[in-house]
Structure 1
Amino acid sequence: SFSVLLRDDEDTFKILIATDIHLGYLEKDPVRGNDTFVTFNEILDHAQKNDVDFVLLGGDLFHDNKPSRKTVHSCLESLRKYCMGDRPVQFEILSDQAVNFHYSKFPWVNYQDENLNISIPVFSIHGNHDDPTGADALCALDILSCAGLLNHFGRSTSVEKIDISPILLRKGRTKIALYGLGAIPDERLYRMFVNKQVTMLRPKEDEDSWFNLFVIHQNRSKHGATNYIPEQFLDDFINLVVWGHEHECKIAPFQNEQQRFYISQPGSSVVTSLSPGEAVKKHIGLLHVKGKKMKMEKIALETVRAFHIEDIVLADHPDLFNPDNPNIAQAIQAFCMEKV
């Protein structure tokens, strides 16, 4: 239900939503090398200025599985600048954090660590670019998590069965069950859903009083018979799905008629491919949740480099392009340069 919330108060969660930041993309490019870092700073600056309760990221914070020293350093620099400070965090965690963060040596949320001074907690699942690899199954997010600057959640360690246990948050009278599932190869996850091997656990008490928020990083559009996750696979008790991985910005929540939940697809904050979806204006979201009601505010990103894409059919210009012309390559080049 999308009712306009009258005002922000002690019962209202304010959550900054972003995904697919791809830190380090084209970092060696002399012109575009710093684009991802500049936009990440803009995102965190919006979080600070809007006085959000926490930041929620939907995967692919890093572009490379083993990000460079420069990329990791820049990320740590930004998180330390914007997310540490004396501002008190206004919500509490009700779930068993040893379950939520069981793969960490520090299984608790960073703002409750007495050795750290966190003003804006950041929660993130991993994407397919920065997923856990190697014998120790570590990913770049684990470095940020170990440093106490980010809370990595939604990690599944079993290939037989996935039990998604939510992080239970409470602010005043509003309660959020935050579910996350880091990227898993689509065919495998599709098969696990079909075989009923994926379970989303519900809170034991007053399960209908929770706002259920689910973050996922998989193919949403169909790339093959099983190379995506159909929306109807997801449980119908969910209120809002934040769908990462897809780069086109469709951040305004859209209702799935069959399951009745809403889906927000924030899209990436940087262009990484020459596709029409990437040309859509990039946004992040400011999600307000009060009780079971929500409102998504779109925030346009101003530091994203302009990107335009257009198809040109040479056959539509027979007067300009004659196949028999030996200088046709130069003619096409001149035509394209004029377009640009």
Structure 2
Amino acid sequence: MSDTGRDSVPPVPTLRHADPDNTIRILLATDNHIGYMERDPIRGQDSINTFKEILQLAVKHDVDFILLAGDLFHENRPSRDCLYQVIGLLRQYTMGDKPIEVELLSDPNEGKAASYEFPAVNYEDPNLNVAIPVFSIHGNHDDPQGAGPEGALCALDVLSASGLINYMGKFDLPLSEADAQTAGIAIRPVLLRKGATYLSLYGVGNVKDQRMHYELRSNRVRMYMPRNRDEWFNILLLHQNRVRHGPQESVPEGMFDDSVDLVVWGHEHDCRIVPEPVAGKPYYITQPGSSIATSLADGESIEKHVALLHIQGKEFEMKPIPLRTVRPFVLEDVVLSEAAEEEGFELNDQIAVSKFLKSRVNALINQANKLWDDRNARAVEDGDEPLPHMLPLVRLKVDTTGVSEMSNPIRFGQEFQGRIANPRDVLVFHRAKRTTRSSKVTIDQPELSIDDPDLSISEKLSKVRMQTLVKEYLAAQELQLLGEAGMSDAIQMFVEKDDSHAIQTHVTAALRSLMKGVQANGEVDEGDLDNVVCRPC
């Protein structure tokens, strides 16, 4: 994206003279992951309960619309029960007689389904009675898949055709590498107005980080802006890696157009919802984080929030709102050798070690219950009803370096059945990695091999990537016609996205390409066939 030359420092994110008639009120959330662990008897309804709370907050605070930055669903193909509950909640809380105070200035047919006449923005449809519009981009969990007559589709397309969600940020990806070299990414905004405040929403659904990094670095992301763009407040929604995982496996914060005022960053689950300035840039970044913990990692233990965003003219302010229905989650790191020295027990004494670990888990349970009580107390002060206790999530990470044998973590967790929500994985064992002196600084690489001798079996299973295993297996087969990279991508689509036609589509396309190469050389002797066949990637 090209800079527009705005050298001014961004204003402090607050409204100096609030005017309700000219203030756009938005409820901001992302990464709801509805359907996560939906078959779990304890945690199965967590994601849907919190999504219900988010919609209730939108009604309570009388917002103009809701803005979601991807991963509404946890699965690419959500279950019927999951879709049923989401459709029911959206119909109950976003439909009604409340007048829409935000005027749509852009083309209501921009982005509409090609085969139908209804507009892309639901409250422009005279057949629908929308009270609170919902605008959303897709994430990496619920991205479009398939190649049917309507093109790639996802669950958001279903909700959009139902008139419940305004799906934005979907653009056609190039069909070949040749097209990708010239296509770039074009982003058309949704233009809104309330009184004297003009707002443009730019949505970019999730694409591979390598491609997004390349497009930004090559200045090939085109943002279509109104003529008097300096009078508009510009919000960019995206769903990409913010934390660096490799040379091009993230999107740098400072690569966006200077005309942007606020970037809403989806995909990262730790809550950094308070707007953060970017060095050398005039815009802020807000990272709402997920509304449910999908892993027992440090970032997920930060209190979950949504935000009430107020925009007036070129000014904005953001009020974080803690989510009350999120299951409390606490974790702790323990180095067993240090604990044994402090507490005075032997590392080879299994009973003493188990007793110590149980005491730490009990302390974490008490800590989690206190967090819940404090949350309820704050809610009562604000005039809300207290919520019944939820079983907490507890994780104790134990460094077992120097310990020859440990007890079974699943058997250990059975003692806490009925007291915590995750008794089977309350404990996780790991060992400190052996480090060697090196003059080079290495980045933590996610591409771990199953043959890594420095990892235990449990560490291999928790860290290794499926595509790495597939690539290693295919490389060992010495494929003659199909390339490892293409087959690896196809198998990944088959497994992670439930695309049953991915492998067949790739094989058919690869064979067609090979046949064209052979035909271009005319008649070929059997002995020269290997030289003519050019295996695709």
TM-score range, shorter chain: over 0.9
Say which is worse superposed, 247-256 or 5-14, in terms of deviation: 5-14
- The residue matched to 2:32 in structure 1 has which SS? coil
* CA distance in structure 1 between the aligned counterparts of 2:111 and 2:318, rounded to whole angstroms: 26
Query: What's 1:307 paired with?
Result: 329
Q: How does 1:172-321 map to 2 (within 5 A)?
A: 172-204=195-227, 206-319=228-341, 320-321=344-345
1:115 correspondence with 2:127: yes
Q: CA deviation at 1:102?
A: 6.2
Match of 1:154 among 169, 185, 193: 169
Q: CA deviation at 1:117?
A: 0.5
User: Structure 1 length normalisation: TM-score?
Assistant: 0.95
**Structure with larger RCO (C-alpha < 8 A, sep 6+):** 1
* CA distance in structure 2 between the aligned counterparts of 1:146 and 1:156, rounded to whole angstroms: 17
1:25 correspondence with 2:36: yes
Indicate how the Cα distance of structure 1 residues 88 and 71 shifts in structure 2: closer, same or farther if over 3 A, else same. Answer: same
Indicate how the Cα distance of structure 1 residues 7 and 276 shifts in structure 2: closer, same or farther if over 3 A, else same. Answer: same
Q: CA deviation at 1:88?
A: 0.6
Per-residue CA deviation, residues 128-152 of structure 1 (Å, 9 max, x unaligned), is: 0000011131001011000000000
- The residue matched to 2:308 in structure 1 has which SS? strand
Query: What's 1:167 paired with?
Result: 190
- The residue matched to 1:97 in structure 2 has which SS? coil
Q: CA deviation at 1:104?
A: 7.4
Q: CA deviation at 1:158?
A: 2.8
Query: What's 2:140 paired with?
Result: 128
Match of 2:78 among 64, 67, 71: 67
* CA distance in structure 2 between the aligned counterparts of 1:5 and 1:119, rounded to whole angstroms: 29
Q: CA deviation at 1:202?
A: 1.2
Calculate the aligned-residue CA RMSD, in Å: 1.7
Q: Which amino acid aligns with 1:121?
A: P
Say which is worse superposed, 139-148 or 1-10, in terms of deviation: 1-10
Query: What's 1:323 paired with?
Result: 347
Does the CA-based 8 Å contact 1:100-1:166 persist in structure 2? no
Q: CA deviation at 1:6?
A: 3.8
Does the CA-based 8 Å contact 2:74-2:141 persist in structure 1? yes
Aligned length: 339
- The residue matched to 2:156 in structure 1 has which SS? helix
* CA distance in structure 2 between the aligned counterparts of 1:49 and 1:8, rounded to whole angstroms: 19
Q: Which has the larger radius of gyration?
A: 2
* CA distance in structure 2 between the aligned counterparts of 1:5 and 1:89, rounded to whole angstroms: 25
Q: Which amino acid aligns with 2:40?
A: D
User: Structure 2 length normalisation: TM-score?
Assistant: 0.61
Does the CA-based 8 Å contact 2:169-2:204 persist in structure 1? yes
Does the CA-based 8 Å contact 1:17-1:57 persist in structure 2? yes
Does the CA-based 8 Å contact 1:255-1:263 persist in structure 2? yes
Q: CA deviation at 1:168?
A: 0.6
Indicate how the Cα distance of structure 1 residues 16 and 103 shifts in structure 2: closer, same or farther if over 3 A, else same. Answer: farther
* CA distance in structure 2 between the aligned counterparts of 1:232 and 1:44, rounded to whole angstroms: 32
Say which is worse superposed, 4-13 or 271-280, in terms of deviation: 4-13
Q: Which amino acid aligns with 2:139?
A: G
Indicate how the Cα distance of structure 1 residues 74 and 175 shifts in structure 2: closer, same or farther if over 3 A, else same. Answer: same
- The residue matched to 2:263 in structure 1 has which SS? strand
Q: Which amino acid aligns with 1:303?
A: T
* CA distance in structure 1 between the aligned counterparts of 2:87 and 2:173, rounded to whole angstroms: 30
- The residue matched to 1:312 in structure 2 has which SS? strand
Does the CA-based 8 Å contact 2:108-2:124 persist in structure 1? no
Q: CA deviation at 1:99?
A: 2.9
Say which is worse superposed, 109-118 or 97-106, in terms of deviation: 97-106
Q: Which amino acid aligns with 1:270?
A: I
Identity of aligned residues (%): 47
Q: CA deviation at 1:326?
A: 5.5
Structure with more of its chain in helix, by fraction: 2
Q: How does 1:93-104 map to 2 (within 5 A)?
A: 93-101=104-112
* CA distance in structure 2 between the aligned counterparts of 1:169 and 1:4, rounded to whole angstroms: 19
Does the CA-based 8 Å contact 1:314-1:321 persist in structure 2? no
> Which sections of structure 2, spanning at least 5 residues, go unmatched?
1-10, 175-182, 365-537
Does the CA-based 8 Å contact 1:246-1:265 persist in structure 2? yes
Query: What's 2:358 paired with?
Result: 334
* CA distance in structure 2 between the aligned counterparts of 1:71 and 1:190, rounded to whole angstroms: 33
Q: Which amino acid aligns with 2:102?
A: F
* CA distance in structure 2 between the aligned counterparts of 1:15 and 1:101, rounded to whole angstroms: 23
Indicate how the Cα distance of structure 1 residues 192 and 45 shifts in structure 2: closer, same or farther if over 3 A, else same. Answer: same
Superposition misfits of 4+ residues, deviation over 6 angstroms: none
* CA distance in structure 2 between the aligned counterparts of 1:264 and 1:74, rounded to whole angstroms: 29
* CA distance in structure 2 between the aligned counterparts of 1:14 and 1:104, rounded to whole angstroms: 33
Q: Which amino acid aligns with 1:149?
A: L
